Amino acid sequence: MDRDELNRLWADDRHWNRWGVYRCAEDPRLIVPKRIRWTGWTANIAHGFSVKAVALFILILVLALAPLLSVVLFQEQPTWLSVIIAVAVSLGLVCGVCHRHASRAFTNRP
């Protein structure tokens, strides 16, 4: 599926409810940009609890918690600066993974 087809599915109002929840089984992405793109990403709930969805959720959870936990667990007295840097790294990793996944174009391969 090319990027134009993904954008067409994403832009179709039938796939969005009034609370901004996206549900499109034809769209292979698990994470898509929100209707107002600069506000972040949302899950494509049409895929439910598939193995890929759970694996992606666990990856995002690990990326969100690992930097902060490493600072808290492995420093005797964590400073505020190290905690702030760890949170910034966590946000950057999560945003990077979500952006990468939401902007991928899927192709049908034989």
Residue 109 confidence (pLDDT) above 70: no
In a domain, 10, yes or no: yes
In a domain, 91, yes or no: yes
In a domain, 75, yes or no: yes
What is the torsion angle, in degrees rounded to the nearest 10, for the CA atoms of residue 88, residue 93, residue 97 and residue 102?
A: 10
What residue type is assigned to position 61 of the chain? L
Predicted TM-score (pTM) above 0.85: no
As a whole number, mean pLDDT of residues 51-76 equals 90
In a domain, 108, yes or no: no
In a domain, 13, yes or no: yes
Residue 67 confidence (pLDDT) above 60: yes
Question: Of 10-14, 16-20, 25-29, 49-53, which gets the smallest average pLDDT?
Answer: 49-53
107 pLDDT tier (thresholds 50, 70, 90)? low
Q: What is the secondary structure of 31-51 as a DSSP string?
A: EEE-SSGGG-EEEBGGGTT-H
In a domain, 30, yes or no: yes
Domain extent, residue 73, equals 3-103
| Number of domains into which the chain is organized | 1
In a domain, 24, yes or no: yes
In a domain, 109, yes or no: no
